[in-house]
Amino acid sequence: MRAETLKGHLDFLLLATVAGEPAHGYRIIEELKRRSAGAFDLPEGTVYPALHRLEASGLLASAWAKDTARRRRVYRLTARGRRALASQRREWRGFTNAVDAVVA
Amino acid sequence: MSYLDDLSTELAAVGIAGSRKRRILAEVDDHLRESGDAAGFGSPSLVAQRFADELASTGARKAGIGTFLALVPAGLLYVVLFAFSGPSPDIASAHTFAIGLPAAALMLLAPQVALAAALLGVLRVRARRGDPVLPAAEVRVLRRRAAVAVSAGAIALAAAATYALEYRAGLPSWWVTTALAAAGVALVPLAAAAAALRATSRLEPRAAGTAGEISDDLGVGASPWRVCLVAAAVIAIAALVAGGPDEGPRNAVAEFVAVCAGFAVLGRFLGLRR
């Protein structure tokens, strides 16, 4: 999938990926790839800046993991992030339902 | 040089330093040890620029909102001082006229500039709320609006304190004490907002795109100059009504000219027009 197509949905996808359980950057990227059957193979250098921005916006929180040999930053969804994700899910379902109704 | 060394250099070049830089390098190091593919991560300069673009966008938004909130105590101070000021002392009764007169003028002008710049900052943040990453031009506009608001707010507080000292002979003592104490207290959040603005201004975003203009802030389709003329007319009418038959017409013309002149001089700088 083209990067431009994904660009507008990156925040939504990242929040949805972290919603299940806290994860570090590499795992988030791999999980996105796995859940999308390889369609969302994001350029890795674009994910970390977005994670930092989402944290600065209060949608994600992060901390250094204590149970790993090397330093590893783990991200989790905040309450505000959870609300934002729920709102984006509603918007997305409304949009896809409308598109389906037109193109089906 | 390793990938991390290159990235470190590039991060510094876009204004990312200190704990933020150390954290990014630690995260990328962890990622590269997992993936073993530095090439797949992207060129260090592009990754560093992406960090700067994303963090500068959030920083500029926070500066816009934070500046407005930091001005609230100063705004409350002005409301209290003007609501309970009683009759104004004779403008010529200042202890040192050359100081008192400019202080009195700035006490009236600076709060209006601060409020306008801060409100415009909030409006631009709101207008751009759907864009995760802002164009560099838009980040500059938000930073400028915040800088003007903070500077004008600080000048307004300094002017209020100076006015209180210069005209203390003709003012109630409680008014002088309140003006001096509250100006000092209200400066604290402004100083915090200025520090936050300075910190985010170190980032050097380069994201493509243009900044909006006043019609984008207000969500109207009219041209910026038409918006300016309507705003100037509304302010002039308010000045006409408030000033009464003696001072009203003069104040109305002065306000109309001041708004239009401000728009002409600062319009591009503050992202009001292109």
ipTM of the complex: 0.89
Interface residue ranges in chain A relative to chain B, Cβ cutoff 8 Å: 10-11, 24-26, 43-46, 48-50, 52-53, 56-57, 70-73
- Distance (Å) of CA B135 to CA B60, B140, B209, B210, B269: 11, 9, 5, 6, 16
3-state secondary structure (DSSP) of residue A24: strand
Residue B221, min C-alpha distance to chain A (Å): 25
Residue A97, min C-alpha distance to chain B (Å): 22
Contact A49 B50 (CB under 8 A): yes
Task: Report the alpha-carbon distance of residue B93 to residue B85 in Å, rounded.
Answer: 16
Contact A52 B55 (CB under 8 A): yes
User: Helices H, strands E: what count in chain B?
Assistant: 10, 0
φ, ψ for residue A36, nearest 5 deg: -95, 10
Q: Give pLDDT tens digits for A9-40.
A: 899 999 999 998 999 999 999 999 999 998 88
Minimum CA–CA partner of B35 in chain A: A26
Contact B31 A48 (CB under 8 A): yes
Residues of A in contact with B62 (CB under 8 A): 56
**Tens place of pLDDT for every residue, chain B, 274 residues?**
799 999 999 999 999 999 999 999 999 999 999 988 888 899 999 999 999 999 999 999 999 999 999 999 999 888 888 887 777 888 888 899 999 999 999 998 899 899 999 999 999 999 999 898 999 999 999 999 999 999 999 999 999 999 999 999 989 898 899 999 999 999 999 999 999 999 999 999 999 999 999 999 998 888 999 999 999 999 999 999 988 888 889 989 998 999 999 899 989 999 999 8
Contact A53 B33 (CB under 8 A): no
Residue A32, min C-alpha distance to chain B (Å): 15
DSSP per-residue codes, B43-100: -HHHHHHHHHHHHHHHHHHHHHHHHHHHTHHHHHHHHHHHHT--SPPPGGG-SSHHHH
Q: How many contacts (CB atoms, under 8 Å) link A and B? A: 68
Q: How many CB atoms lie within 10 A of CB B165?
A: 18
